[in-house]
Amino acid sequence: MKIQTNAVNILERTSAFLESGVIQKVPAWYNVVAANPPKKKFERKPIFVNPSTGKARVNLKSFLDSKRNAHEIYKTRYSMADKQVSHNALYRPPKLVYLEDQLRQLFYDQHPWERSRPMILIENNVTPKFDWSRIQQLGKRLDGESVVQRALFLLEGGHCDSLSTAYDKARFEFYRIRMQQELEEQISQEEAAMYGSVYTQSAIEFGLEKEGKVIETWKRRVIKETEAMLARRASPSESWNPEELEGENEETAEEKDGQEVENLFL
């Protein structure tokens, strides 16, 4: 099947239409597409080296690393399956790996509750620049990203010999400031309560209270249905509708009360 190139030739066709007068007005997208023309080469090029790690992507496993099979026979040549996997890796787009992503993953795996803190995402045209010589920044709250950037600053500046040492130092600074913040919040809350402030239920407490009411209602209904099911199993010939059971129980209680009154008069 022939490769379709009509879409990528739209710039040339539009230019020819403008020159011939078929189109009088320049389209709004014309200058943008002219500045960034689409690619016209659709063949796949093999990628022998991963640009992120600098390692080769097509190395086959050594025969010394291969284990013997069930028949105690060593492998001495590559099979078609081994070569096929290697060929597919040539055209597979490489994964971009950054050191910051590894540090973020490590931090949030060790501190999962940091994800529950509210986060504000603000997109501006100007990227703010911070001085990571200190972990606490003006205009940015303390979070996992502060630990990551602080660790990279310590590593790149030569303040620490290894990445693990820089990460531990940044993490301990994070702990110290976070404990100070929590202590200040607790003291301010106690002072406000001392001066008469009343704190209502939080969103979590309100949700737990509503959930408890629903569970209690469900529990009472299930108990009634379970009792009716057990009674139905005991005598399956009769009807054991829960509503009918309640009516019969009320009638039986009234009859018993009437009999007790008659016995008293007798």
113 shares its domain with 161: yes
Average pLDDT over residues 63-76: 58
Residue 264 has pLDDT above 50, yes or no: no
Residue 261: pLDDT band (50, 70, 90) is: very low
Beta bridge partners of residue 49, listed in sequence order: 56
Last residue within a domain, chosen from 180, 195, 210 = 195
Distance between CA atoms of 238 and 141, rounded to whole angstroms? Answer: 69
Q: What is the pLDDT of residue 251?
A: 54
Q: What is the pLDDT of residue 168?
A: 94
Residue with tokens 């106690």: 190
24 shares its domain with 58: no
C-alpha radius of gyration, the chain, whole number? 37
23 shares its domain with 110: no
72 shares its domain with 115: no
Better-scored residue on pLDDT, 244 or 114:
114
Distance between CA atoms of 154 and 156, rounded to whole angstroms? Answer: 6
Task: Tell whether 80 is covered by a domain.
Answer: yes
Do 151 and 103 touch, CB atoms closer than 8 A? yes
Do 62 and 55 touch, CB atoms closer than 8 A? no
Residue 199: pLDDT band (50, 70, 90) is: confident
Task: Tell whether 190 is covered by a domain.
Answer: yes
Last residue within a domain, chosen from 9, 26, 43 = 43
Better-scored residue on pLDDT, 266 or 49:
49
Task: Tell whether 225 is covered by a domain.
Answer: no
Each as own residue / partner, the long-range contacts of residues 107-112 (CB below 8 Å, 24 or more positions apart, any chain) are 107/144, 107/147, 107/148, 107/171, 108/144, 111/144
Residue 265: pLDDT band (50, 70, 90) is: very low
Q: What is the pLDDT of residue 266?
A: 46
Residue 218 has pLDDT above 70, yes or no: yes
Single-letter amino acid, residue 157: G
113 shares its domain with 171: yes
191 shares its domain with 103: yes
189 shares its domain with 147: yes
Range(s) of the domain holding residue 21:
1-43
Residue 219: pLDDT band (50, 70, 90) is: very high
Residue 141 has pLDDT above 80, yes or no: yes
Beta bridge partners of residue 137, listed in sequence order: 140
Do 145 and 125 touch, CB atoms closer than 8 A? no
Structure tokens at 101: 């992503």
80 shares its domain with 132: no
| Range with the poorest average pLDDT among 97-101, 122-126, 143-147, 181-185 | 122-126
Residue 152 has pLDDT above 90, yes or no: yes
Residue with tokens 């020819």: 16
Each as own residue / partner, the long-range contacts of residues 180-184 (CB below 8 Å, 24 or more positions apart, any chain) are 181/142
108 shares its domain with 161: yes
How many independent structural domains does the chain possess?
3
Q: What is the DSSP string of 69-105?
A: -TT-----S--HHHHHHHHHHHHSPPPP--HHHHHHH
174 CB burial (10 A radius; 0-12, 13-18, 19+): buried
Q: What is the pLDDT of residue 117?
A: 87
Task: Tell whether 107 is covered by a domain.
Answer: yes
34 shares its domain with 54: no
